[in-house]
Amino acid sequence: LSFSITLPHHLFGNNTKGQCGTCTNNTADDCMLPSGEVVSDCELAADQWVVNDPSKPHCPHTSVTTKRPAVTPPGASTTSRKDCASPLCELIRDRCPCWSLASCGV
């Protein structure tokens, strides 16, 4: 699974951290831990940002959450997963007039 998120820099610049990196236009600090430490392993960094949400038991937190994605041949179908959307995603969705064009399965 590969994806990208485009955020308006005037709203999110120098104000975003987490599994998708920072929003500083500097890829050198994208693998930042919640403590602010920058590491070279983005998979390790992404795992540190996972939050267990008891109100979403269908989205369990495990000790190892980030694995290299399996390769799906072009044209092959994938199974859909339950939506684990967060209120922050709703903020992005509300500000993105092209959201309906994204094939995110929501």
Does 105 reside within a domain?
Answer: no
- What distance in Å separates the CA atoms of residue 79 and residue 14, rounded to the nearest whole number? 36
Does 48 reside within a domain?
Answer: yes
Does 57 reside within a domain?
Answer: no
Number of separate domains in the chain: 1
Does 40 reside within a domain?
Answer: yes
Handedness of CA 51, 54, 59, 60 (dihedral sign): positive
pLDDT, tens digit (0-9, with 9 covering 90-100), for 69-92:
555 566 555 554 445 555 555 555
pLDDT, tens digit (0-9, with 9 covering 90-100), for 5-54:
787 888 888 888 887 778 888 888 888 898 989 999 888 888 888 877 88
pTM above 0.75, yes or no: no
- What distance in Å separates the CA atoms of residue 6 and residue 12, rounded to the nearest whole number? 10
Does 106 reside within a domain?
Answer: no
Tokens matching residue 63: 């000790």
Q: For residue 33, give its domain range.
A: 1-52+62-100
